[in-house]
Amino acid sequence: EAGVAQSPRYKIIEKRQSVAFWCNPISGHATLYWYQQILGQGPKLLIQFQNNGVVDDSQLPKDRFSAERLKGVDSTLKIQPAKLEDSAVYLCASSLPRDSSSYNEQFFGPGTRLTVL
Protein backbone atom coordinates (compact mmCIF):
# COMPACT_ATOMS: atom_id res chain seq x y z
CA GLU A 1 0.00 0.00 0.00
CA ALA A 2 1.41 3.40 -0.96
CA GLY A 3 1.93 5.76 1.94
CA VAL A 4 1.25 9.45 2.37
CA ALA A 5 3.22 11.46 -0.16
CA GLN A 6 4.52 14.96 0.46
CA SER A 7 6.49 17.43 -1.61
CA PRO A 8 8.83 19.11 -1.60
CA ARG A 9 10.97 17.35 1.01
CA TYR A 10 13.03 20.45 1.71
CA LYS A 11 12.45 24.16 1.18
CA ILE A 12 14.56 27.17 2.06
CA ILE A 13 13.05 30.64 1.75
CA GLU A 14 13.65 34.12 3.09
CA LYS A 15 11.29 35.71 5.58
CA ARG A 16 8.28 37.43 4.08
CA GLN A 17 8.32 35.07 1.10
CA SER A 18 5.52 32.63 0.35
CA VAL A 19 5.69 28.85 0.29
CA ALA A 20 3.31 25.97 -0.44
CA PHE A 21 3.40 22.32 0.52
CA TRP A 22 1.54 19.48 -1.13
CA CYS A 23 0.15 16.27 0.35
CA ASN A 24 -1.40 13.21 -1.27
CA PRO A 25 -3.03 10.96 1.35
CA ILE A 26 -3.46 7.21 1.28
CA SER A 27 -6.14 6.22 -1.18
CA GLY A 28 -9.53 6.02 0.49
CA HIS A 29 -8.56 8.03 3.56
CA ALA A 30 -11.17 10.71 4.00
CA THR A 31 -9.49 12.44 6.93
CA LEU A 32 -6.36 14.51 6.37
CA TYR A 33 -4.24 16.38 8.90
CA TRP A 34 -1.47 18.94 8.72
CA TYR A 35 0.93 19.14 11.66
CA GLN A 36 3.80 21.49 12.43
CA GLN A 37 6.80 19.95 14.17
CA ILE A 38 9.37 22.37 15.52
CA LEU A 39 12.80 20.88 16.18
CA GLY A 40 12.86 19.03 19.48
CA GLN A 41 9.09 19.08 19.92
CA GLY A 42 6.19 16.83 19.16
CA PRO A 43 3.91 17.52 16.20
CA LYS A 44 1.20 20.12 16.70
CA LEU A 45 -2.03 19.95 14.74
CA LEU A 46 -2.62 22.86 12.39
CA ILE A 47 -5.73 21.75 10.54
CA GLN A 48 -7.87 18.68 10.00
CA PHE A 49 -10.07 17.95 6.99
CA GLN A 50 -12.87 15.45 6.62
CA ASN A 51 -13.19 15.01 2.85
CA ASN A 52 -13.05 18.63 1.66
CA GLY A 53 -14.48 20.20 4.81
CA VAL A 54 -12.51 21.67 7.70
CA VAL A 55 -13.08 19.85 11.01
CA ASP A 56 -10.57 21.66 13.21
CA ASP A 57 -8.44 24.68 12.40
CA SER A 58 -8.34 26.18 15.86
CA GLN A 59 -4.52 26.15 15.99
CA LEU A 60 -3.92 27.42 12.47
CA PRO A 61 -2.44 30.97 12.38
CA LYS A 62 -5.00 32.18 9.90
CA ASP A 63 -3.35 35.53 9.31
CA ARG A 64 -0.56 33.79 7.40
CA PHE A 65 -1.43 30.10 7.01
CA SER A 66 -4.07 28.66 4.72
CA ALA A 67 -4.93 25.17 3.59
CA GLU A 68 -7.32 23.64 1.16
CA ARG A 69 -8.51 20.25 0.02
CA LEU A 70 -10.81 21.18 -2.82
CA LYS A 71 -11.57 17.74 -4.24
CA GLY A 72 -11.33 15.83 -0.97
CA VAL A 73 -8.09 14.11 -1.93
CA ASP A 74 -4.86 16.13 -2.25
CA SER A 75 -4.22 19.08 0.01
CA THR A 76 -2.00 22.15 -0.03
CA LEU A 77 -0.78 24.18 2.91
CA LYS A 78 0.42 27.71 2.24
CA ILE A 79 2.33 30.22 4.32
CA GLN A 80 2.25 33.87 3.27
CA PRO A 81 4.30 35.71 4.41
CA ALA A 82 6.72 33.39 6.20
CA LYS A 83 8.37 34.31 9.48
CA LEU A 84 11.56 32.97 11.04
CA GLU A 85 9.53 31.03 13.62
CA ASP A 86 7.81 29.07 10.86
CA SER A 87 10.98 27.01 10.41
CA ALA A 88 9.82 23.48 11.13
CA VAL A 89 8.88 20.18 9.58
CA TYR A 90 5.36 20.15 8.17
CA LEU A 91 3.81 16.72 8.40
CA CYS A 92 0.76 15.49 6.59
CA ALA A 93 -1.18 12.51 7.91
CA SER A 94 -4.30 10.69 6.82
CA SER A 95 -6.74 8.24 8.33
CA LEU A 96 -10.05 6.59 7.72
CA PRO A 97 -12.93 8.60 9.18
CA ARG A 98 -13.31 8.31 12.91
CA ASP A 99 -16.73 7.53 14.25
CA SER A 100 -17.82 8.25 17.76
CA SER A 101 -16.74 4.88 19.11
CA SER A 102 -13.44 4.20 17.43
CA TYR A 103 -10.14 5.68 16.55
CA ASN A 104 -8.47 5.14 13.23
CA GLU A 105 -4.69 5.14 13.01
CA GLN A 106 -3.10 8.19 11.47
CA PHE A 107 -0.45 7.46 8.85
CA PHE A 108 2.19 10.13 8.46
CA GLY A 109 4.12 11.26 5.43
CA PRO A 110 7.87 12.02 5.55
CA GLY A 111 7.28 15.73 6.01
CA THR A 112 8.60 18.90 4.40
CA ARG A 113 11.47 20.57 6.21
CA LEU A 114 11.08 24.36 5.91
CA THR A 115 13.91 26.74 6.73
CA VAL A 116 13.11 30.43 6.85
CA LEU A 117 16.17 32.71 6.69
Partner 1 sequence: GESVGLHLPTLSVQEGDNSIINCAYSNSASDYFIWYKQESGKGPQFIIDIRSNMDKRQGQRVTVLLNKTVKHLSLQIAATQPGDSAVYFCAETSTGRRALTFGSGTRLQVQP
State the residues that interact with partner 1 by CB under 8 A: 4, 31, 33, 40-45, 48, 55-56, 91, 93, 98, 100-101, 103, 105-111
Q: Give strand ranges (E) for the chain.
A: 5-7, 10-13, 19-24, 31-37, 44-50, 53-56, 65-68, 75-79, 88-95, 107-108, 112-116
**Separation of alpha carbons 11 and 58, rounded Å:** 26
Amino acid sitting at position 1: E
- Toward partner 1, which CB reaches closer, 17 or 22? 22
Other beta carbons less than 10 A from residue 58's beta carbon: 9
**In angstroms, what is the minimal distance from the CB of 84 to partner 1?**
21
Q: Which is nearer to partner 1, 20 or 45 (CB)?
A: 45
C-alpha–C-alpha distance, residues 30 and 105, integer Å? 12
Cβ of residue 56: shortest distance to partner 1, in angstroms? 6
Minimum Å gap between C-beta 16 and partner 1 is: 28
C-beta of 4 vs 116, nearer to partner 1 = 4
Nearer to partner 1, 56 or 85 (CB): 56
